[in-house]
Amino acid sequence: MRRTLIAGNWKMNGSLSANAALLAGIKAGAGKARSCELLVCAPFPYLAQCQGELAGTAIAWGAQDVSEHASGAYTGNVAAAMLREFGCAYVIVGHSERRTYQGESSEMVAKKAARALQAGLIPIICVGETLEERQAAQTDAVVGKQLDAVLEALNDEEVGRMVVAYEPLWAIGTGVTATPDMAQAVHAMLRAKIAARSAAAADRVKILYGGSMKPDNAAQLLAMPDIDGGLIGGASLKAEDFLAIASASA
Ligand code: PEP
């Protein structure tokens, strides 16, 4: 049985005071969402704040990117071991905003996932297609290729520890969400691909849905058999909405 994971992606939002209020709100209401695991992925400068506020609670924290290198002359990059020092349990890799704005290739994303796993972090590996690709019936090919690059870079044990997030680009931050059936179809395809590599890993790997998940559509999405949680952008910035999504998974 895979425990639902509700992960907030704060993106480049927040401030010390806004985060303090948000984290206090999440902590106050987290008891009602005990059946699922809660996670917040904060910008690097706020990881120490998350550690200070969340250590000893049931809420996990993580980062939004990690270097594919272990250490060295990579100005501006942040190593997986550094994230571990700040108590991170998870790190998002290959978010479509990084693939688009930072030109991250699937091979680079796969290296980042491998580096995260080697350091004891769980990578949340994002995959997803554009609207044009969906309209051209290329969703499975595009998303499948993004996953294949990761499967090639990891051993079976590592595959079993990863989390995948299916995030159709046309649904991110747009208010348009994939229907539960559309999302389920892609999630089932992704799980079948993982199963072809390792049945045990496929059973274990959580596949999250991301793309305008909100309190009013979360229950239907999370009820699908292969949707094991959500990666939530906009709605994760309001404690009430984030917790309402978590409650919808019960
Ligand atoms: C995201 O950025 O991962 C995301 C899913 O954003 P939103 O929920 O705002 O669509």
Please give, one letter per residue, the 3-state secondary structure of 57-106: CCEEEEECCCCCCCCCCCCCCCCHHHHHHCCCCEEEECCHHHHHHCCCCH
**pLDDT score, position 33:** 83
Confidence of residue 250 (pLDDT cuts 50, 70, 90): confident
The domain spans of the chain are 4-247
Task: Give the distance (Å) from ligand 1 centre to CA of residue 72.
Answer: 32
Which two tokens mark 185? 């179809």
Taking CA atoms only, the protein residue closest to ligand 1 atom 2 is 233
**pLDDT score, position 88:** 98
Pocket of ligand 1 (CB under 6 A): 9, 167, 172-173, 210-213, 231-235
Residues of 100-126 as b/e, b for ≥16 C-beta within 10 angstroms?
eeeebebebbbbbbbbbbebebbbbbb
Mean pLDDT of 159-165: 98
Taking CA atoms only, the protein residue closest to ligand 1 atom 3 is 233
User: How far, in Å, CA of 223 to CA of 96, rounded?
Assistant: 25
Q: Could you give phi then psi for residue 117, rounded to 5 degrees?
A: -60, -40
Q: Is CATH 3.10.180.10 correct for 4-247?
A: no
Task: Give the distance (Å) from ligand 1 centre to CA of residue 104.
Answer: 18
Instruction: Judge whether 95 counts as a catalytic residue.
Output: yes
Tokens 């208010």 belong to 175
pTM (2 d.p.):
0.98
User: How far, in Å, CA of 155 to CA of 152, rounded?
Assistant: 8
Tokens 């917790």 belong to 243
User: How far, in Å, CA of 16 to CA of 49, rounded?
Assistant: 8
Q: Quote the mean pLDDT of the chain.
A: 97
The atom number, within ligand 1, closest to the CA of 234 reads 9
Pocket test for ligand 1, best of 12, 95, 164, 231 (most atoms within 8 A of CB): 231
**pLDDT score, position 1:** 81
**pLDDT score, position 32:** 84
Instruction: Judge whether 167 counts as a catalytic residue.
Output: yes
**pLDDT score, position 34:** 82
154 pLDDT higher than 80 = yes
Which two tokens mark 142? 């595009």
Taking CA atoms only, the protein residue closest to ligand 1 atom 4 is 233
153 neighbors 108 (Cβ within 8 angstroms): no
Mean pLDDT of 139-166: 98
Pocket test for ligand 1, best of 5, 6, 9 (most atoms within 8 A of CB): 9
Q: Which residues contact 69 (CB under 8 A, 6 or more apart)?
A: 77, 79, 115
Alpha helices in 104-238 (DSSP H): 106-118, 131-135, 139-153, 156-161, 180-197, 199-204, 215-222
Confidence of residue 62 (pLDDT cuts 50, 70, 90): very high
Taking CA atoms only, the protein residue closest to ligand 1 atom 8 is 233
